[in-house]
Chain A
Amino acid sequence: MTNAAPLLRVEGLTTWFPIKRGLFRKTVGHVRAVDGVDLEIWPGKTLALVGESGCGKTTVGRSILGLVPSIAGKVWFEGKDLRALSQDELRPLRQRLQIVFQDPQASLDPRMRVRDILCEGMESFGIGTNDAERTERAAALLRRVQMNPDHLWRYPHEFSGGQRQRLGIARALAVEPQLIICDEAVSALDVSIQAQILNLLGDLQDELGLAYLFITHDLSVVRYLADEVAVMYLGQIVERGATARIFSAPAHPYTQGLLAAAPSIDPLRRGVQARVQGDVPSPAAPPPGCRFHTRCPEVFARCRSEEPRLFALPNGEVSRCFRDDPAAPAA
């Protein structure tokens, strides 16, 4: 495969969760967690998926891996649509797609020793010819994430939060993936530990050519490590583009609001602005028209009735706003 093709391409991914009520658990509606998402991730690159609680960013990650059932769309990986494959056909591809969770405490089995946590995936995919070889590989993985190989025989509770996150990363690396989905992987860590883990993820990308789908709400982390950014709001992508461009010239009013709301640590730059007022509406009943119109500082009549499309801007970005779409009549 050449670098001219994306490693992962997501088209129209849609994941709705039924809302069930009453004695017969009748479906009375759907939470539209992910509603037609398109993404591309290139080999060796990092795409950050940003948005606030409930925007569906975590569900995108889980839907790509098939950890939650999506109802429509295509997930192209190595030329195959993962959603169209049977479980048996999917298995070998799963090895190439791994995930690191936010809470390493909850995602490491407390009854398993480190060695077994790291070797479980290898056994499953037939990596290593025997236990001794796999143990050797596990020790090498620990060194790779800057941990002491003697820790192989310990249990997860014996480690600090930062070390547990290193274990989560080592577990993902154990099966030699090409893409790691990092779901808020550094959000629960203290600043000094976060820096260690971000550096480690950067080193691994350089050495192993890994691609990351970095799901986060932290804009400073996004600006620092992502090549491209996709901004989500109520189940949809509202803006997508190169990181430097999005941060210097955000197009969509929601992205502009997010950036204006993020506090800086530069004492000369004080004064966040709450350009986006009110709260996120429920994804079970997204507003008609543009989903952001209830909070948008630049809303006009058309936004309330018609849904804007994702429109390619001259600078290569993509934005979902009538304001930037020449096909839309003037306000």
Chain B
Amino acid sequence: MTQPALRIENLRITFPNAGQRLPVVDGVSFEIARGEVLALVGESGCGKSMTAFAAMRLVPKPGAIEGVIELNGRDITKLPVPEMRKVRGTQLGMIFQEPMTSLSPVLRAGEQVVEAIRLHEKVSHGEARKRVIELFERVRIPDAEQRFDAYPHQLSGGLKQRVMIAMALATKPQVLIADEPTTALDVTIQAQVLELMRELQRESDAAILLITHDLGVVNELADRVAVMYAGRIVELGKREDVLARPRHPYTVGLLKSMPGLAQPGERLHEIAGVVPPPTEWTAACRFASRCPRVIEKCSASAPAQTALGDGHWAACFAVEQEGAR
């Protein structure tokens, strides 16, 4: 067995609330191999972004992490801050949703990437500048040399996101975390960035953790998909299996409620009710109150993973009863 680039086991993230510790991520486990893209999908508040923050050890205080987060076999949950900073700069790359707020408005775009490189490597400014211009060309920034000297406000949203991607790639990370990388972009610009990310993925063997709410983006980029609901992964499997043959009632409902697959005039499938807030999370199945296939067991305990073949699993008592198809 080769070692996964990123392995997360039984991750729990809690925040203090009314004298107790309230979980926002509750027992999440997955692995990503080198060269693989795993998408973590779910609706607002499911804990997907918090999981990404945890993988970078950037969970805001007073949040606390429990569980294992291994980068190439090394647990980073207990690393001292200066060590962790080094890991973040060299082994982990990050692309955030809002390029506007992640770039400093008072520094030239290229200099920000130079800074990122020189923070972690002993290279001259001239050398770093050359590398940044190469990176800008690699992420298809037109007139890379001129754009090196541009301030972020002089760049469009799509170009800013390319600068962010260049920065994430600058230190050749083994794990890349992309949190809603195209959500703020218009559809034609999103297509350009998706094409770019697909190309980069072919060229590098970095493991990519893609966080998104957009199943279309998942379909474009992911090899495997993990569906999150109320702090837990409820279904995980290959892209084709999860999107074409979903088994967990939440995944089934989510896909059916999308207008993309519905016929015009046909009623969209509705998932009744709303996602329970963390204050109402129980030890049982958290989808039970909205689930069309709910059975007695569901409100008593949490369902275990039912293996469905080829690495595909769902955590659901109804699926457990019918088993693999």
Residues of B within 8 A of A272 (CB): 190-191, 194-195, 220
Of A192, A224, A264, which is within 8 A of B216 by CB? A264
B63, CB-defined interface residue at 8 Å:
no
Q: Among B23-31, B110-118, B254-262, which stretch is in contact with chain A?
A: B254-262
Contact assessment for B270 and A199 in the assembled complex, using a CB-CB cutoff below 8 Å: yes
Of A193, A243, A260, A266, which is within 8 A of B191 by CB? A260
Whether A279 touches B270, Cβ cut-off 8 Å, given contacts A191-B43, A262-B187, is no
| Nearest-neighbor residue (CB-CB) of A52 within chain B | B186
Docked complex Cα distance between A265 and B270 (Å): 18
Question: What is the minimal beta-carbon distance from B188 to any residue of chain A, in angstroms?
Answer: 4
Question: What is the minimal beta-carbon distance from A135 to any residue of chain B, in angstroms?
Answer: 27
Contact assessment for A192 and B260 in the assembled complex, using a CB-CB cutoff below 8 Å: no
Contact assessment for B239 and A274 in the assembled complex, using a CB-CB cutoff below 8 Å: no
Residues of A within 8 A of B261 (CB): 265-266
Contact assessment for B264 and A243 in the assembled complex, using a CB-CB cutoff below 8 Å: yes
Residues of A within 8 A of B44 (CB): 190
| Nearest-neighbor residue (CB-CB) of A160 within chain B | B274
Contact assessment for A194 and B260 in the assembled complex, using a CB-CB cutoff below 8 Å: no
Contact assessment for A258 and B187 in the assembled complex, using a CB-CB cutoff below 8 Å: yes
Q: How extensive is the interface on chain B, given as a class?
A: 35 or more
Contact assessment for B216 and A265 in the assembled complex, using a CB-CB cutoff below 8 Å: yes
| Nearest-neighbor residue (CB-CB) of A218 within chain B | B259
Docked complex Cα distance between A275 and B190 (Å): 12
Question: What is the minimal beta-carbon distance from B36 to any residue of chain A, in angstroms?
Answer: 16
The 8 closest A-B pairs by CB, nearest first: A263-B216, A261-B191, A195-B257, A224-B259, A52-B186, A220-B260, A190-B43, A195-B268
- B252-278 Cβ-contact flags toward A at 8 Å (1 or 0): 011101111110100111110011000
Contact assessment for B213 and A263 in the assembled complex, using a CB-CB cutoff below 8 Å: no
Of B215, B220, B240, B262, which is within 8 A of A224 by CB? B262
Residues of B within 8 A of A273 (CB): 191, 195
Contact assessment for B187 and A261 in the assembled complex, using a CB-CB cutoff below 8 Å: yes
Question: What is the minimal beta-carbon distance from B116 to any residue of chain A, in angstroms?
Answer: 25
Contact assessment for A219 and B268 in the assembled complex, using a CB-CB cutoff below 8 Å: no
Residues of A within 8 A of B254 (CB): 191-192
B76, CB-defined interface residue at 8 Å:
no
Contact assessment for B187 and A265 in the assembled complex, using a CB-CB cutoff below 8 Å: no
Contact assessment for B156 and A279 in the assembled complex, using a CB-CB cutoff below 8 Å: yes
Contact assessment for A263 and B194 in the assembled complex, using a CB-CB cutoff below 8 Å: yes
Residues of A within 8 A of B186 (CB): 52-53, 217, 280
Residues of B within 8 A of A168 (CB): none
Residues of B within 8 A of A196 (CB): 270
Docked complex Cα distance between A260 and B194 (Å): 12
Whether A192 touches B262, Cβ cut-off 8 Å, given contacts A261-B188, A263-B217, A272-B220, is no
Interface residues of A in 189-208 (CB under 8 A from B): 190-196, 198-199, 202
Docked complex Cα distance between A69 and B52 (Å): 46
Of B190, B264, B269, B270, which is within 8 A of A261 by CB? B190
A140, CB-defined interface residue at 8 Å:
no
Of B214, B239, B269, B274, which is within 8 A of A267 by CB? B239
Contact assessment for B195 and A265 in the assembled complex, using a CB-CB cutoff below 8 Å: no
Point out which of B215, B239, B264, B267 has the most chain A C-beta atoms below 10 A from its C-beta: B264
Point out which of B189, B194, B253 has the most chain A C-beta atoms below 10 A from its C-beta: B189
Interface residues of A in 103-137 (CB under 8 A from B): none
Docked complex Cα distance between A92 and B43 (Å): 42
Question: What is the minimal beta-carbon distance from A213 to any residue of chain B, in angstroms?
Answer: 18
A9, CB-defined interface residue at 8 Å:
no
Whether A263 touches B214, Cβ cut-off 8 Å, given contacts A272-B191, A276-B188, A279-B159, is yes
- B33-53 Cβ-contact flags toward A at 8 Å (1 or 0): 000000000011000000000
- B210-232 Cβ-contact flags toward A at 8 Å (1 or 0): 00011111111000000000000
Residues of B within 8 A of A18 (CB): none
Residues of B within 8 A of A260 (CB): 191
Point out which of A162, A191, A202 has the most chain B C-beta atoms below 10 A from its C-beta: A191
